[in-house]
Amino acid sequence: DAGVIQSPRHEVTEMGQEVTLRCKPISGHDYLFWYRQTMMRGLELLIYFNNNVPIDDSGMPEDRFSAKMPNASFSTLKIQPSEPRDSAVYFCASSHTEAFFGQGTRLTVV
């Protein structure tokens, strides 16, 4: 297995634009997590899914953030509209017991 695959690796966008981050989890894993990492706030859990069903989205900062998992092999995190304070590295991780992380998407909103 190639591991957790995230795309794009880097994204630079203008404030107000829609941003979509993508994640392909490891096959057979039943949990999928989205995290955000910043220097100020560290690693924050945004939302997680179990068997494609969102279980806890209490970490999603605002209604501008949404996440979907239409099937076991794909998830998206969308920010609409984006703001400069959304700039961060966004990680997707999949898990059965331990979590395996993707390489992350570095988002810069200017």
Partner 1 sequence: AQSVAQPEDQVNVAEGNPLTVKCTYSVSGNPYLFWYVQYPNRGLQFLLKYITGDNLVKGSYGFEAEFNKSQTSFHLKKPSALVSDSALYFCAVRDIRENNNDMRFGAGTRLTVKP
Note the residues at the interface with partner 1 (CB under 8 A). Answer: 4, 31, 33, 35, 42-43, 45, 48, 50, 55-56, 91, 93, 95, 97-104
Closer of 33 and 65 to partner 1 (Cβ): 33
Closer of 31 and 81 to partner 1 (Cβ): 31
Closer of 81 and 106 to partner 1 (Cβ): 106
**Alpha-carbon gap, residue 107 to 3, rounded angstroms:** 21
Contact yes or no for 26/98 (Cβ under 8 A): no
| Closest CB 49 distance from partner 1, rounded Å | 11
**Alpha-carbon gap, residue 59 to 73, rounded angstroms:** 22
| Closest CB 16 distance from partner 1, rounded Å | 27
| Closest CB 81 distance from partner 1, rounded Å | 27
Sign of the dihedral defined by the CA atoms of residues 83, 18, 35, 65, in that order:
positive
| Other Cβ atoms closer than 10 A to 6 | 21
